[in-house]
Amino acid sequence: MTGRIAAAGAAYFAIVFIAGFLFGTLRTLWLTPWIGPLAAVAAELPPMLAIAYAASAPIMRRFAVGTRAERLAAGLVAFILLMAAEFALAAAFGIPPAAYAASWLTAPGALGLLGQVLFALVPALRGPRPAQ
């Protein structure tokens, strides 16, 4: 894997992770107590995927990641970084890795994991946008 693909994946991860951290905090502290965990994750998913969609093309263009295979590889890098960050955050809150992974077996956890997989696929599915 080339450095530009890894750099594109890392940049894509960073932008979406920062947004996800902010949205996740709002979801956890405000939305979940109000509408429940599944509805809160379902409400968070569209804006997060919109952010991923908006961020992907300029980042892929910036790092000259043009082919679908390269964009898929960059998305995989971003997904691996996201999973590492998620497990690290869970550990910081005292949640063992097995318990965190088991949370994917709940409806909110499965929906969240689906969103993370879609996040990884967005660069490949969206494709490059012509330079302006």
Q: How far is CA 13 from the centre of its chain?
A: 7
Environment class of 12 (CB within 10 Å of its CB; exposed 0-12, middle 13-18, buried 19+) = buried
b/e map 101-128, b = 16+ CB within 10 Å: beeeeeebbebbbebbebbbbbbbebeb
Mean pLDDT of 93-114: 97
Tell me if 28 is assigned to some domain.
Answer: yes
pLDDT range class, residue 132, cuts 50, 70, 90: very low
Tell me if 68 is assigned to some domain.
Answer: yes
Tell me if 11 is assigned to some domain.
Answer: yes
Decide if pLDDT at 94 tops 70: yes
| Residue matched to tokens 């919109």 | 50
Domain that includes residue 32, residue range: 3-126
Tell me if 114 is assigned to some domain.
Answer: yes
Percent of residues, the chain, with pLDDT higher than 70:
95
How many domains is the chain built from? 1
Mean pLDDT over all residues of the chain? 94
Tell me if 131 is assigned to some domain.
Answer: no
